[in-house]
A and B are shown apart, each in its own frame.
Chain A
Amino acid sequence: MDTETGLQLFPERASSVAGDVDALFYFLVAVSVFFVLLIFGLIAYFVWRYRRRSPSDAPAAIHGHLGLELLWTGVPLVLAMFIFGWGAKLYFEVFRPPKEGLDFYVVGKQWMWKVQHPTGQREINEMHVPRGIPVKVTMTSEDVIHSFFVPAFRVKRDVVPGRFVTAWFMATKVGEYHLFCSQYCGTAHSQMTGKIVVLEPADYSAWLSGRSAEPPAVAGKKLFDKLGCATCHQQDASGRGPSLLGVFGSKVQLQGGGKVVADETYLRESVLSPQAKLVAGYEGIMPTFTGQVDEEKLLDLIAYIRSLALPPAPAPRQP
């Protein structure tokens, strides 16, 4: 964003639909200003003109006026239907993706955005896209409802667990734009943000070719070996730590009672704060890996552990 501080009044316009949304928005502003001035003006005039002059004032009754009633029922009705039609047309424009375009995949989870490019490259909380080419985003959530919101594109779509939703946009201006989660999703909701980086198509291709498209489970396996996880987490139950074979998605019995589903959130917590929820029958001897594995590596690790699960948990469709 060009404005770091200071008073900003209008959002940036960086997608093909942004101008259309703004046009309708400003029309609504104009309608509102008209009615506010009308009502406020009439009230101000009446209360001044007909202010009480003597305590014994007894103004004549006015029962009503059918013509006026019809007028101020009819005009708002017609105006409302006009705005409805305009808004509906725009809604279909904003949500119906064009046939051609790039297919991106986005997974929301507490509290990050995982992005996968059509060619396999992955990013977290950043999304590089080419300018001038429609981008169709297929999204799901791994836990609660999130919402994919890019103000500069005037695009928003709730990302609902258990189903895929789609949104699309065509960026029109090179630059960096906010990506917000706009559906309250828990503790770090306000940090579930990222940026959309719009590049010229040639720069986008260059950016893609500079990134490995290694599947995350493979990267996770390498990391797993490098960190020496296998020393304790062996394939059978003989290690000092629980076996991770088939653990993903299963219900884990915890020390001190209670069960927890070994999902991404639990595995993530168990890597970062191993003492938080100990598996029954094991000592709390695992060190924390906070600071050693960043979020991206963590996802690789989880993807690897996930790949050990039987049957494999559903993952976003591969391009």
Chain B
Amino acid sequence: MSTHSAASYLNASHGIASWLFTRDHKRIALLYLISLSLFFALGGMFAGAIRLELLTPKGNLMSDATYNKMFTLHGVVMIFFFLIPSVPAVLGNFLVPLMIGARDLAFPKLNLLSWYLYMAGALLAVTVAVTGGVDTGWTFYTPYSSTYSNTNVMATAAGAFIAGFSSILTGLNFIVTIHKMRAPGLTWFRLPLFIWAHYATALIQVLATPVVAIALLLVMLERGFGVGIFDPKLGGDPLLFQHLFWFYSHPAVYIMILPSMGVVSEIIAAFSRKRIFGYDFVAFSSLAIALLGFLVWGHHMFVSGQSMYAGLVFSVLSFLVAVPSAVKVFNWTATLYRGSISFDAPMLYALGFIGLFTIGGLTGLFLATLGVDVHVHDTYFVVAHFHYIMVGGALFGYLGGLHYWWPKLTGRLYPHTWARLAAAIIFLGFNLTFFPQFLLGYLGMPRRYHVYPEEFQVLNVFSTAGASVLGIGYLMPLIYLLWSLRSGAKADSNPWNAKGLEWQVSSPPPVHNFDQVPTVTEEAYAYAPADKGGS
């Protein structure tokens, strides 16, 4: 099926304009990959500054104002300009059409517009970073953000606002594409779980993102024009902002984690040569998470002064959303049973994901528990918890997926030993960085503290040491992946012997993806030779 002709999507046309005005979903995916990698590096540098400062209890590296800008920019860049787009914009863009046997996404021009909107928002935020910074925290809590902060809140909020439209358009594109452009025979229950996860994610992107856009717009109105919405001095209500903000930003956690769950399903199946155990349950758990995820935002507000009965409702719903996540973890684990398991780098990231997501999910239960949340809320316990979900979960999924599909994206193989080593270093560095923060949080160290009491220092030293290891771990893939572009061995169309339409086209794929529209006759993950499929 694969034709090793010269006309891959990478060399079909040349020149900068052929990239900047491309409508090929694969090239747009690479544009995202390059820009996201830059913003990840930027966000990582802010994190490095934070960890260095926290090495000692006193603020001896930077002023408190600078420190506050560092953690704000770290959060803004990592969440709005890296994690939210990461898997969907890079891997989803590249793979959704390939996996369903389509020529491109439903709206190729809209897809390119998404990238430009993303860049506009992100560059605005970078401009803020180099022209004075912003110090509200990525959460923009009012009335601090709308009235009191003297920093560049307007431009940062505008950046996140613009990038939000990029996210909405990507989601819209995926929904239409998955509904209308599946190859003949590719029924819903034959879809790869990666597609299910992206479908659920796209629903959240389309439905929730407008709410944060409105919330940020209202902050800008109050700040720029004194329209009283959130500041009690102007007759506003500061808690209204928290409701609007978390109505998006809690589901946003699922925008970050669901696509990575899709990646993990693909990797686990490919590297244990098994269909995913309980496929239907894994597919529907994505939808359940997306749905319930909309109803739990108030668990960020248990000590905020919202009604205690509201607290009860949000707590019970938060416990419910834990169940489909647990179902996924059990099904992935069961998939390994009687498989044929190999330990390539993507599999190491996927196994790391399951482990770290399990810890992140279980510590989420602590925070959903009303009486316990009162103590650990806004402490390092929360910081540790969401890094286990967002780095241990979302980022591990992203890195695993990048390693899994790298040969398809680039047509090159990377050195496997280095890749395995990097995965192990990242896993160790991550745990050393963030596990001590659970202990710090229970001891009572509040988050966003520039200086802290001396008794917290030892655990902070561990955490900073871990961050150094983690930093080295992140640099390694950067080096060997770039190296592979020029010097890596050429990949054939299916280097992992994996199932899925994307592995039936050459690596890298031709511009038009498929020479003829494929017809699907079997379920996803039909690894077993005698397997007749069916669900």
Contacts and interface: CB of A to CB of B under 8 A. Distances in A.
A122 interface: no
Contact of B327 (A5, A42, A57, A73): A73
A110 interface: yes
Contact of B370 (A7, A73, A90, A193): A90
A69 B458 CA distance: 43
Given A60-B338, A61-B527, A191-B451, A8 B371 contact: no
Nearest to A40: B355
A30 to B, nearest CB: 11
Interface in B202-239: 231-233, 237-239
A189 B362 contact: no
B330 interface: yes
Q: Residue among A1, A182, A191 with the most chain B CB within 10 A?
A: A182
Interface residues on A, range: 35 or more
Given A89-B371, A92-B308, A161-B233, A80 B238 contact: no
B280 interface: yes
B323 A154 contact: no
Contacts of A147: 303, 378
A145 B110 CA distance: 41
A3 interface: yes
Contacts of A110: 148
A160 B333 CA distance: 45
A113 B338 CA distance: 61
A76 B315 CA distance: 15
Q: Is the interface of B mostly helix, strand, loop or mixed?
A: helix
Interface in A1-37: 1, 3-11, 20-21, 24-25, 28, 31-32, 35-36
A240 interface: no
Nearest to A261: B233
Contacts of A63: 275, 277-279, 535
B305 interface: yes
Given A64-B280, A84-B316, A9 B338 contact: no
Q: Is the interface of A mostly helix, strand, loop or mixed?
A: mixed
A64 B238 contact: no
A158 interface: yes
A184 B528 contact: no
B277 A64 contact: yes
A146 to B, nearest CB: 10
Interface string B356-382: 001100110110111111110111000
A151 to B, nearest CB: 3
B37 interface: no
Contact of B369 (A11, A84, A93): A84
B141 interface: yes
B39 interface: no
A143 B141 CA distance: 13
Contact of B319 (A68, A83, A163): A83
Contact of A69 (B233, B281, B362): B281
Q: Residue among A11, A21, A189 with the most chain B CB within 10 A?
A: A189
Contacts of A73: 281, 323, 326-327
Interface string B314-332: 0110011011001101110
B300 to A, nearest CB: 11
A59 B338 contact: yes
Given A161-B233, A187-B68, A80 B319 contact: yes
A52 interface: yes
30 contacts: A4-B454, A7-B459, A10-B442, A21-B375, A32-B363, A39-B354, A42-B333, A50-B339, A52-B341, A57-B340, A58-B528, A60-B530, A64-B279, A64-B281, A69-B278, A69-B281, A72-B327, A83-B319, A88-B370, A95-B308, A144-B147, A145-B238, A149-B446, A152-B444, A156-B303, A158-B303, A162-B238, A178-B453, A184-B447, A189-B64
3 tightest A-B CB contacts, nearest first:
A162-B232, A151-B444, A90-B371
Interface of B: 59, 64-65, 68, 135, 137, 139, 141, 143-144, 147-149, 231-233, 237-239, 272-275, 277-281, 302-305, 308, 311-312, 315-316, 319-320, 322-323, 326-327, 329-331, 333-334, 336-343, 351, 354-355, 358-359, 362-363, 365-366, 368-375, 377-379, 439, 442-444, 446-455, 457-459, 526-531, 535
Given A1-B455, A8-B455, A162-B238, 12 more contacts: A5-B454, A7-B458, A31-B362, A50-B336, A61-B526, A72-B327, A72-B330, A178-B444, A180-B446, A182-B378, A182-B447, A184-B144
